[in-house]
Structure 1
Amino acid sequence: MAADFELTFLGTGTSVGVPVIGCKCRVCTSEDPRNKRTRSSVHVRAGDVSVLVDSGPDLREQALREGLTKVDAVVYTHAHVDHVVGFDELRAFCWHREDPLPLHATADCMDTLKTMFGWAFSPENIFRGYIKPDPHIIAGPMIFGDLTVTPLPVEHAKAETVGFLFEMPGAPATAYIPDAKLVPESTIAILQRADILIIDALRSIPHPTHLSTEEALAIIAETGVSRGWLTHLGHENDHYELEAMLPQGVGVAYDGLKIRG
């Protein structure tokens, strides 16, 4: 029997989303709904446990679209604006909680959160309508019910960045790396446990801080996963055309896509 596991792509776009403001290219003006990409994020449900990855600027829209009403913890990949600036939307997941909301991040990312949203972390934050964070520095695997979440260190610009491997008995081990330029051998070794790899593939042309399509496909092949998904896609990518050129077993993620165990 399959495990009660579900990963939802809340967003699959790059930092500016697709369509890009002011752009009239054929992808930005496409009528294919799969070419409408909000900023990258996923939500994982493992039984009764609800884990959100990042709190980007489109979190409100994404949560309403997917009917997301409960979050038990947030895990952050890194401190770039397109992954943290929707922080205030987390209020909606605190209104019906008695306990603070656990936030898990690297030391670098947590410092940024405390700087950007100092009011939330202040001892004077006592008003019930505000987000009440319970900060945790990521130091190794995290356990949420039957779900184990292992950090996957990667290199991405100057920000301390991690992806995550989600493991639950009976479900496909699913890795999520939305922002990376280099995946170290130590992380590749952890990825040998994965069945599914979701990975940054910004565009076909090389980029200084993101994986290209070719680079992402090479990592998928190196890990030997049975299924790969490309995410964090810029407006250089038309969904249909990109999907048509990919090898068997690799797909193009889109907003709302669900992986079930």
Structure 2
Amino acid sequence: MNIVLLGTGTSTGIPVVGCRCRVCCSADPHNQRTRCSALLSCGGHNLLIDTATDLRQQALREDIQHIDAVLYTHCHADHVHGIDDLRGFNVPGGNPIPLYADPQTLISLRRNFKYIFDPCQPPGYVPKLTLHPLAGPMDLFGLEIIPIPLRHGAQPATGYRCGPFAYLTDCNRIPDSSLALLKGLELLVLDGLRFKPHPTHFNIPAAVAIAQSIGAKQTLLTHLSHDVDHAGVDADLPDGINLAYDGQRFSFDVPYHFLPATGDP
């Protein structure tokens, strides 16, 4: 299984429009962050986590040729507003792309993107997509995907585990029942917005503490704001904990049942 962190920035992206702070003006490519998303590839199949606002830019940068399914973490704009760019991944004459999400996110998608999901809308060039509720662990293209319930302030959010990898963005609390699903990780990608406290995101000290309790071999903090300078902060984090950056790649051996792919990865 191959993993690419497509985007590692907070909802504004970095640089922030109109901002002239040190991080937004930085020449360090690690400080140039698109909105949060990740891609899992295995056996020629591509699973996208969130359709971030910057999906088009991310897909062009990483030369993504096809998307076989999308896993949504929650319904906030920076995680869903790239949905229209899924049009380019609809294979002519092929099946719609399945989208998986919790019930609240499905309701939001139906409402906010009525032009896609309402069959009474006039025909047009829209993505061909189907909505599917999460109902516990599932097999997608031979990979076991385990949804991880999270809290994002007062709102639920969903993380995902696949083999030794877990992706937990946009959260400020992990229930005990979810912590039990995170044992034995090689790689944990975890929300770590900034140093100051935030009502719906882990700040960096809280993220470090929860990461140390989970005990993954490596933890990467994502959804980073422009308060976080990569070089200055990364060097001071505890061993095994680092800041994520756009385009970061990992590979793991995972058990899967081979299924024919729909195209090139």
TM-score using structure 1 length? 0.93
Distance 1:233 1:58 in 2: 15
Aligned partner of 1:187 in structure 2 is 178
Distance 2:118 2:124 in 1: 14
Aligned partner of 1:46 in structure 2 is 42
1:178 to 169, 179, 189: 169
Distance 2:48 2:126 in 1: 18
Q: How far off its partner does 1:260 sit?
A: 1.2
Which region of structure 1 is more displaced relative to structure 2, 113-122 or 59-68?
113-122
In 2, are the aligned partners of 1:79 and 1:159 still within 8 Å (CA)? Answer: no
Aligned partner of 2:238 in structure 1 is 247
- Percentage identity across aligned positions? 41
Distance 2:175 2:213 in 1: 12
- The reply to whether residue 69 of structure 1 matches residue 65 of structure 2 is yes
- The reply to whether residue 34 of structure 1 matches residue 30 of structure 2 is yes
1:121 to 114, 117, 121: 117
How many residues are matched?
252
Which region of structure 1 is more displaced relative to structure 2, 138-147 or 76-85?
138-147
Aligned partner of 2:150 in structure 1 is 154
SS in 2 for 1:245: coil
**Matches of residues 1-261 of structure 1 in structure 2 within 5 Å?**
5-96=1-92, 98-124=94-120, 129-167=125-163, 173-261=164-252
Distance 2:23 2:75 in 1: 28
Q: How far off its partner does 1:247 sit?
A: 1.1
Distance 1:131 1:125 in 2: 13
Q: How far off its partner does 1:157 sit?
A: 2.4
Contiguous gaps of at least 5 residues in structure 2: 253-265
In 2, are the aligned partners of 1:202 and 1:212 still within 8 Å (CA)? Answer: yes
Distance 1:71 1:126 in 2: 25
Q: 1:113 to 1:239 in 2, by over 3 A?
A: same
Contiguous gaps of at least 5 residues in structure 1: 168-172
SS in 2 for 1:151: strand
Letter in 2 for 1:14: T
TM-score using structure 2 length? 0.92
